[in-house]
Structure 1
Amino acid sequence: MSKSVKNRDTDIQARVGQAPSKPYVFTEAPMQAFNDLLVPYETYFKSPLAKLGAIKHGLGSNSISDLLKVTGATQSDIARWLHITEPTLRKHLQSPHDLNQGLSEHIIQLFELFDKGMDTFGSPDEFKSWLKHYNPGIDAIPYDLLDSITGISIVISQLIRIDYGVLA
């Protein structure tokens, strides 16, 4: 037997003795953590009256830190979306109190958007990536529209279109 055939046979036997390679396994930990952060807000997505009640009462300031975790956005981005300064945002993060109606409504809408994005894309990372790329269906970068309730509604409508396969 030639030397090359022996080496090939030895290589095959060596590979047969090895454990088969495992396919890449997705962990549920990041998605589970994402979902756990949204759980306290899910009742607001399902019931307009519950949403209205939460807006009128005002969300706790801890909702801003939940928003930071869910969105993965910077404090600067969150402050821009909510139309507040960064020092005001930090003040909200440091002291427990209820937020005003405008901030509460905007935050609930953002949570609803991210919940819908998770449903549409199945992964927080894929949805966050989609948000940062130009979308011809809305002729904008979705991430840039999150500073208004109307902009968030436009992005949610686009997600619904994606769910139904109507991309234009």
Structure 2
Amino acid sequence: MKVYGELEDTVNIVSEALAPYQTYFESPVNRLSVIKGGLASSSIQDLLNISGSTRFDMAKNLDLTEPTLRKHLSNNKELSTSLSEHVLFLLELYDKGLDTFGSIEEFKNWLPQHNIGIGAKPSDLLDSITGINMVMNELNRIDHGILA
């Protein structure tokens, strides 16, 4: 019973961290508006917390150096348009992964596994919007029972 409670707590923590971004996932107009205005730099910390990624891996996924990532984390400024878009797409991907697998841990366990449907490890595709879209499409196929 304790394990179930811990998993439920993890889902609640991740859901709460994703909640401020939900309206951006629902509408392309809302998404574009926040991307053009720039996400708050705190969104990167939210992404780190949700994904459990190291700063090194997150910097790699966002095409940043680790010192630049640290700078964004310590500043309270809006992110650039391209960085906002990348962070928002990754947040949406984790939201979708939670929905598809029912557990953020299950989703994180799935990411580094080679996937026949996309011909790669999903975690290797997170450094581009096209790659994130490929992973998102695979999650949609899983949702609909189309596994290959």
- TM-superposition CA deviations, 1:71-104 (whole Å, max 9, x none): 1111011111111100000001111100000000
- Higher-Rg member (1/2): 1
Specify whether residues 164 and 85 from structure 1 end up closer, same or farther in structure 2 by C-alpha distance, changes over 3 A only.
same
Runs of 4+ in 1 over 6 A off after TM superposition: none
Which residue of structure 1 lines up, in the alignment, with residue 125 of structure 2? 145
- 1:26 matched to 2:4? The reply is yes
Alignment partners' CA distance in 2, 1:160 and 1:93: 32
CA deviation after TM superposition for structure 1 residue 24, in Å: 6.0
Task: Please give the alpha-carbon distance, in whole angstroms, between the structure 2 residues aligned to 1:57 and 1:151.
Answer: 24
Residue matched to 2:88: 108
- CA displacement, residues 137-161 of structure 1 (integer Å, 9 cap, x when unaligned): 1110000000000000000000000
* Of 25, 44, 57, the match for 2:24: 44
Give structure 2 stretches of 5+ with no counterpart: none
Tell me what 2:33 maps to: 53
Mapping of residues 9-20 of structure 1, within 5 Å? none
Q: Secondary structure at the match of 1:26?
A: helix
How far off is 1:66 after superposition? Answer: 0.3
Percent same amino acid among aligned pairs? 53
Letter of the 1:26 partner, please give it: Y
User: Partners in 1 of 2:141 and 2:130 — Cα distance?
Assistant: 17
**Structure 1: unaligned runs, 5 residues or longer:** 1-22
Aligned-pair RMSD on alpha carbons? 0.9
Structure possessing the higher relative contact order (Cα contacts under 8 Å, 6 or more residues apart): 2
> Partners in 1 of 2:79 and 2:88 — Cα distance?
12
| Distance in 2 (alpha carbons) for counterparts of 1:25 and 1:69 | 20
Deviations 1:1-56 (A, max 9, x none): xxxxxxxxxxxxxxxxxxxxxx5651121110000000010001101100000000
Deviations 1:106-153 (A, max 9, x none): 000001100100010000000000001111111100000000000000
